[in-house]
Structure 1
């Protein structure tokens, strides 16, 4: 057998091994870290309601739009109004602004840092694999200087967005990245 035939035969076996390993997996892996079944094609995301006693009026709509944008950027799923293969719904259940670090200045205890904590209950349904379904509360927070009051934070479009992005990423990882 000549050397050329040996190389061709080895290449054939390596290619065959890769194809066999590729067929063995039942999920499709992507560079974004998702592990979606190839039969999953659509996603529906209902508007998240703001059931917290606080929070700016725009929070529910902006959170929902950011949630949709994140999934559309990081998956190839088609967004549909309802009855998607993957379905999300939920509510913003807490929007709490409170002192996080007390400092004593001139004998007076004052907040040195204020913390905004947001909690969102997420219900996830995977119509192709119900074992993946979950309902879970995700939470994130951000610290702000004592000179920033809640009105300033609510008027800063990036302040709450940093916090809600963490929640969206956690929900993404739990639902389609299986982390």
Structure 2
């Protein structure tokens, strides 16, 4: 297959390829880079051998490059976190907050406290054991003599309450 035929196919499929890549990597700029790399890889492959079904080959090459990119990004982010000692992470200063930020946080905590105080004693205990003491769902279920499902459902409810309070707070 000739290079000019490949150029025609690539130009015809460019928009579709770009959309596919954007959906996969959630970034237009990265998708453009992957599209260029796809062009180069397919052009190199064509110079080395004949390709019978060019369009599927182009799409598969683009898909493979996107998957490689996502895999590398996931490994890189995991490596970055694992490679930095916890002491270093903890020593990094948080950005200074303004008095307005502090007041907003104080109000949010007060609203959360009021709402959490309205929970049943069992719900409060589940919340404290899970979120403050770090117990697993199974440990909580055994400690409170309830089913694992009960712990999961109660925590789901409690967390939705917290999210609701935080959501209303951010709209103020």
More helix by share: 2
Greater relative contact order structure (CA < 8 Å, 6+ sep):
1
More strand by share: 1
Query: Do both share a fold (TM > 0.5)?
Result: no
Bigger Cα Rg: 2
Query: What TM-score comes out, normalization by structure 2 length?
Result: 0.26
Query: What TM-score comes out, normalization by structure 1 length?
Result: 0.25
